[in-house]
Amino acid sequence: MIKVIGAGLAGCEAAYALAQAGQKVELYDIKPSRFTPAHSDKNFGELVCSNSLKGNDPYTNACGLLKEEMRRLSSLIIEAADATRVPAGGALAVDRQLFSQYITQKITSHPNIEVVCEEVKALPHDEWCIIATGPLTCDALAEDIKVRLGGGLHFYDASAPIVSRDSIDMDFAFVGDRYGRGGDDYINCPLNKEEYQTFVRELLGAERALLHDFEKGEIFEGCMPVEVMAARGDDTLRFGPFKPVGLRDKDGNKFYAVLQLRKENAQGQAYNLVGCQTNLKFPEQKRVFSLIPALNKAEFLRYGVMHRNTYINSPAYLNADFSLKSDPKLFFAGQMTGVEGYVESAASGLLCALHMLKKLQGKRPEIPEDLCVLGALSAHISGANANFTPMNANFGILRAAVRPIRDKKARYEYLARRSLEYIAEYKKLLNKE
């Protein structure tokens, strides 16, 4: 018997995939006897923030590509989304109630799944199990995970935006570390006094996303948003994350303020806006940060987010198959692993199930390569990363084309076609006896 803890998108995806393969599954959840502070529906797979699962076109949107990869691997969550879709242009939006009802009916009617309404307070030992309890994991289990891992849990997600390397305007930027120490770890984006003051003014006036009441104190004590920092005084950012001290371009010029961008992945295809964790709404992030000259045409691979999110420092504790390094029968799925977003969470549940099935057969898991989004997310949670933070699906985490493709539309189409060709081969590997 396999235990799956948590009946959100990741847990339901994992439980269903295992059951479809003939495995007996116990799916544990506190619903309907109890609810987390963010949940209210008795059904499983509840969407609590938005009815949109983001873009659906695999050739223009990385999350759309991930959906198509999952669709071709018989994902329950994508099947439910397709069945309950409502008009939303290029996005895959669903009727939230029907979506959850569809998933719940599939789970509760499956002969290989037993639903157990019970709070799990501790990790099992030497049992086949998938932990998919999400960012609002109950306190007792969260504490046990923390003890089992010797720490390594984060209780808020305060992330800065990430932009693509190719979209940075290097006519307004330069590479280098502070005090001429050399290296190319940072791209520096200078601002003069007028540019800095305009940026701060628009930052302070920008519209912010709403937080749940239970999130506010915990998050802001842990990591201050750049807009809150800026409100403390006109020069606060210049003496903080935008400090220009020790930064000069190749001509020796000094600057009024400098935003630094740091490599987000080993390939150097994605860069993080250092110190710019933010709670601005996504369109406002694009508008305000694009005021920085070097980012005037920036392509945002991921926007900054701030919300409570219990997640593991996965590169330290998880294998690429999402199993615990110290206990290969114990898997983690969902946002707890450091994937960001509904579809990404479900994808991790699907991967856990596929990898566990291989192990149950006495075989090595087939880890997808970063030629597809599934593989790129697997690499993100398991690759060396001293600044590990949650990541969503974006084209910047895929393996770059052998020859650079400057046109964004052509580059995305190439990466998507390559990905789906790879998924066809990956599916054959999974089905190989």
How far is it, in rounded angstroms, from Cα 423 to Cα 70? 9
Tokens representing residue 252 in the block? 């020796």
Dihedral sign of CA atoms 63, 69, 75, 78 in order: positive
How far is it, in rounded angstroms, from Cα 281 to Cα 55? 18
Which residue has better confidence, 215 or 293?
A: 293
How far is it, in rounded angstroms, from Cα 78 to Cα 13? 9
Q: Which amino acid is at 148?
A: R
How far is it, in rounded angstroms, from Cα 329 to Cα 333? 13
Q: Which CATH class is domain 159-307?
A: mainly beta
pLDDT of 163-173, one tens digit each?
999 999 999 99
Tokens representing residue 414 in the block? 């190439």
On the question of pLDDT at 37 being above 90, the answer is: no
How far is it, in rounded angstroms, from Cα 237 to Cα 244? 10
On the question of pLDDT at 265 being above 80, the answer is: no
On the question of pLDDT at 219 being above 50, the answer is: no
pLDDT of 66-77, one tens digit each?
999 999 999 999
Q: Which amino acid is at 215?
A: E
When the candidates are 3.40.50.11930, 3.50.50.60, 1.10.10.60, 3.30.420.10, the CATH number that belongs to 2-155+311-431 is 3.50.50.60
How far is it, in rounded angstroms, from Cα 206 to Cα 229? 14
On the question of pLDDT at 176 being above 90, the answer is: no
% of the chain residues with pLDDT over 70: 89
- Using pLDDT thresholds of 50, 70 and 90, give the confidence band for residue 370: very high
pLDDT of 299-343, one tens digit each?
998 888 776 667 888 999 999 999 999 999 999 999 889 898 899
On the question of pLDDT at 221 being above 50, the answer is: no
Q: Where exactly are the structural domains of the chain?
A: 2-155+311-431, 159-307
Q: At what angle do helices 9-20 and 96-108 cross, to 10 degrees?
A: 40
How far is it, in rounded angstroms, from Cα 146 to Cα 349? 21
Reported in sequence order, the residue ranges of 252-339 that DSSP labels E, i.e. its strands, are 257-263, 270-273, 300-302, 305-307, 311-312, 323-324, 327-332
Number of H helices and number of E strands within the chain?
13, 19
pLDDT of 266-309, one tens digit each?
677 888 898 898 989 999 999 999 999 999 999 998 888 776 66
CB-based burial of residue 167 (10 Å sphere; 0-12 exposed, 13-18 middle, 19+ buried)? middle
